[in-house]
Amino acid sequence: MSSHDSVPASRKNNDASNDAASPDAQPELAPGLYVVGTPIGNLRDITLRAMDVLRAVDVIAAEDTRTSAPLLASFGARAQLIAAHDHNEDAVARRILDLLAAGRPVALISDAGTPAVSDPGARIVRAVLAAGFTVSPVPGPSAAISALSVSGCEGPFLFAGFTPPRSAARRAVLRELALLTHTVVLYEAPHRIVDLACDLALEFEPGRRIVVMRELTKRFETVHALAIGELRDWLVTDPNRQRGEFVLVIDGLRERDDDRIEADRILRLLLEELPVRSAAKIAAAITGQAKNALYRRALELKGAA
């Protein structure tokens, strides 16, 4: 028996695992599309497998090559970079299909976090799957999941991503989300966060719990729980709180308030034709609710219309 044959199988497996984890030992990747999660802030959140894949692939499709180039260089990845953004996804998908047909492995990354989740990439993944090629997830950071883990919110959740930029469309979306018993996760950009806070206070119960998070895993990370009705004032009290990328996690509706929902529906219909005082008076007669409370609510709805 040779010395090689005398090595226990368990020892061989351990040695193989150690070799795979070594920075200098790159895996042989099968042809396919590798969807790789990258850090959302702290560079040390990159996984060992993600680094292996990014170093081993021939081509990396990135949302913004200018952003990704220094990130990839810091991990020792030297693959060819191609831009894959909202405006060229279909063309890039065709190019990636050609690469896969030639037997080359390709990675897909976004600027930060997991691709194809409120970032470009879904159409590319769809095309690759439709063509019968392999798509492999390489799990990594996700702002939505990271936010949920520190929110204290329970139960199933709905990831709604970014809401529409215009208030009327945004409020229509929020109106539907406010009726869900699921926890709701939203993304928002800094220049729209105050507008979103105003619309949230109109469409959700002001006392509903929300956790606002900004700059997750970065130097000025903030995680703050408060009532939805307090969010706008909290943001404007300190302009620094309006900086950075936001994730908002909102508690689901505990008990459906059908009376409030119906009163809002009636007020909205009446306000299309009548002044606030008249709308509140008629709504009070229809619903049996207090006229003064309906008047205040009508003012809120009219002012935000």
Percentage of the chain lying above the pLDDT 70 cut: 90
CA distances from 195 to 77, 179, 212, 242 (A): 40, 20, 14, 11
Beta strands in the chain (DSSP E): 32-36, 59-62, 80-83, 105-109, 135-138, 157-162, 183-188, 209-214, 222-227, 246-250
Predicted pLDDT at 26: 60
Residue 50 corresponds to which tokens in the numbers above? 């993600």
pLDDT of 175-224, one tens digit each?
Answer: 999 989 899 999 999 999 999 999 999 999 888 999 999 999 999 999 99
**CA-to-CA distance for 252 and 229, rounded, in angstroms?**
16
Concatenating the DSSP letter of every residue in 263-300 gives HHHHHHHHHTTS-HHHHHHHHHHHH---HHHHHHHHHH
The span from the CA of 8 to the CA of 235, in Å, is 62
Tokens encoding 75:
């991990």
Query: Who has greater pLDDT, 1 or 256?
Result: 256
- Which pLDDT does position 256 carry in this prediction? 62
Mean pLDDT of the region 72-94:
93
Look at residue 86 and tell me whether its pLDDT is greater than 50: yes
Cα angle for residues 188, 208, 215 (degrees, 5° grid): 30
The CA angle 295-291-254, to the nearest 5 degrees, is: 80
pLDDT tens, residue by residue, 7-39? 333 333 344 344 444 445 566 899 999 999 999
Per-residue buried b or exposed e for 40-56, using 16+ beta carbons within 10 Å of the residue's own CB: bbeeebbbebbbbbbbb
In the three-class reduction of DSSP (H, G, I as helix; E, B as strand; rest coil), residue 109 is classed as strand
Q: What is the pLDDT of residue 18?
A: 44
Total number of residues shown for the chain: 305
Q: Does 138 score more than 90 pLDDT? A: yes
CA distance 132 to 66: 31
What is the pLDDT, as a whole number, of residue 264? Answer: 86
Is the per-residue pLDDT at 257 higher than 70?
no
- pLDDT at position 255 is 63
User: What is the gyration radius of the CA atoms in the chain, in angstroms?
Assistant: 25
Name all contacts of 134-139 with Cβ < 8 Å and 24+ positions apart. 134/30, 134/31, 134/32, 134/33, 135/32, 135/33, 135/35, 136/32, 136/33, 136/34, 136/35, 137/35, 138/34, 138/35, 138/36, 138/37, 138/47, 138/49, 138/50, 138/53, 138/107, 139/37, 139/47, 139/114
* CATH number for the segment(s) 144-250: 3.30.950.10
Domain parsing of the chain, residue ranges:
9-141, 144-250, 258-304
Round the average pLDDT of the chain to a whole number and report it.
89
pLDDT of residue 8: 36
Average confidence (pLDDT) over 63-73: 93
Mean pLDDT of 287-297: 88
Question: 114 pLDDT exceeds 80?
Answer: yes
Identify whether the C-beta of residue 184 lies closer than 8 Å to the C-beta of residue 212. no
Pick among 3.40.50.10470, 3.40.1010.10, 3.90.1150.10, 3.30.1660.40: CATH of 9-141: 3.40.1010.10
pLDDT bin (cut points 50, 70, 90) of residue 118 is confident
Q: What is the pLDDT of residue 27?
A: 66
The DSSP symbol for 253 reads P
Give me the residue label for tokens 């050609």. 98
Could you tell me what percent of the chain has a pLDDT over 90?
76
> What gap in Å lies between CA 136 and CA 33, rounded to an integer?
6
Sign of the alpha-carbon torsion through 64, 108, 215, 246:
positive
First-to-final CA distance of the chain: 85
258-288 pLDDT, tens digit per residue, is 777 788 889 989 999 999 999 999 999 998 8
Instruction: Please compute the mean of the pLDDT values over residues 73-98 and round it to a whole number.
Output: 94
Beta-sheet pairing, 105-109 with 246-250? unpaired
| Strand, helix or coil for residue 64 | coil
- Write the DSSP symbol of residue 254: S
